[in-house]
Amino acid sequence: MSAAQNDIRVEKKLAFGEADGKPLLADLYAPADAQRPCAVFVFVHGGGWIAGSRASGEGIGRLLAAEGYACLCIDYRLARNGAPSYPGALEDVRAALDFIGRDGASLGLDASRIMLLGASAGGHLSALAALTEPLEAPRVRALVTVYGVFDLKTQWDHEIVVRPKGNLVEALLGRSALEDRRIYFEASPLSHVSLQRRKLPVFLGYGLQDEVTPHAQSEAFLLALSQCNFFVRKYVAADAGHFWLGEGLDDATSHGRRFLRAALAFLRGVGLQAKAPEG
C-alpha cells in the first residue's frame, strides 16, 4: 500500500441526504487525476452509536485515495438524549448508497462498484445495510468491517456487565432486550446471513484483546458466513484491542495499515480493483 498523499481530491460537506430536517453530510476523498469513475468505499464511523463523525475517516480516506479508490466518509443519526437512532442510522447509510447511484457519476464514482467499510458501531450498520439490500438488485459489492457488532443481544449481555449504566445497545434501540427481543434480532446482521446473500464478499478484522466488542462477535459472524458459503476472509490482530483501524496510519507495520492492505488485496481478488478494466 502506497503512503503517497499527493494528487488527492477532497470535497467536504457534501449533502447526501436529510434527517430530522437537517442535511446529512459526507466528505469525499478521491484520486485527483482519475480518468474513469473509481470504485468507492462508503466509510461508516464508530462511536457506540452515540458519538463520532465522518471526520474520523480522513486518514483512511486519504490512504484509499492514494491507492486509486474513492472514499465517501458519512455522518449518520446518533442516539442522544434518550432518543434511539435505529432504524434511522441504517436509513442514513442507505441514503449514502442512493446518493452515489444518483450523483456519483458527476463526482467520478462508479456506482456499480460500491464497498461498505465500517468500524465498531459502523461495522454493525455497514453489515446490516449490506445484508438487507434488495436481493434482485444489490448495490453493495463487498463488505469490509473491523471489530463490528453483529449480534445485538450478545453485545447487550456484555454491556450489562461492563457498562451497567448507559448500555449502548439500549441507546441505539431505545429498549432493553427484556422488553423486546424481536428488535434485537431484526437489527442484528447475524440474523440476515443466508444462502441467498452468499454472493456478497466479506472481509473481517478484529483484535483478540478487544474488551469493547469481544472477538466472539466476529467469530460467530465468520462462522455463519462460512456455513452459508460466503467468500469470507479475516484479519486477526492477536495483540490488539479496539480502536486500532485509524491509529498509526503513517506506519506501514501498524494494524490499521496491514488491515487495509489485506482488504484491498482481497477486493482485487474478487474483481474490485480501483478502476474497472477497459472494454
| Per-residue pLDDT, 6 | 58
State the sign of the Cα–Cα–Cα–Cα dihedral 130, 134, 138, 139.
negative
Q: State how far the alpha carbon of 220 is from the alpha carbons of 66, 104, 149, 186, in Å.
A: 34, 35, 10, 17
Quote the CA–CA distance of 214 and 167 in Å, as a whole number. 15
| Per-residue pLDDT, 2 | 44
Helix (H) or strand (E) holding 262: helix 255-269
Taking 80 as the threshold, does the pLDDT of residue 277 lie above it?
no
Q: Are strands 38-44 and 70-74 parallel, antiparallel or unpaired?
A: parallel
Other beta carbons within 10 angstroms of residue 111's beta carbon come to 17
- Which grid coordinates are listed for 81? 438524549
Q: pLDDT (tens digit, 9 = 90+) per residue, 198-214? A: 999 999 999 999 999 99
Q: pLDDT (tens digit, 9 = 90+) per residue, 50-100? A: 999 999 999 999 999 999 999 999 999 999 999 999 999 999 999 999 999
Quote the CA–CA distance of 22 and 24 in Å, as a whole number. 7
Q: Nearest 5 degrees, angle CA 166-CA 49-CA 207?
A: 95
| Per-residue pLDDT, 72 | 98
What domains, with CATH codes, occur in the chain?
8-269 (3.40.50.1820)
- Which grid coordinates are listed for 58? 480522513
Q: Are strands 22-31 and 8-19 parallel, antiparallel or unpaired?
A: antiparallel
Quote the CA–CA distance of 111 and 137 in Å, as a whole number. 12
| Per-residue pLDDT, 3 | 41
Helix (H) or strand (E) holding 236: strand 232-237
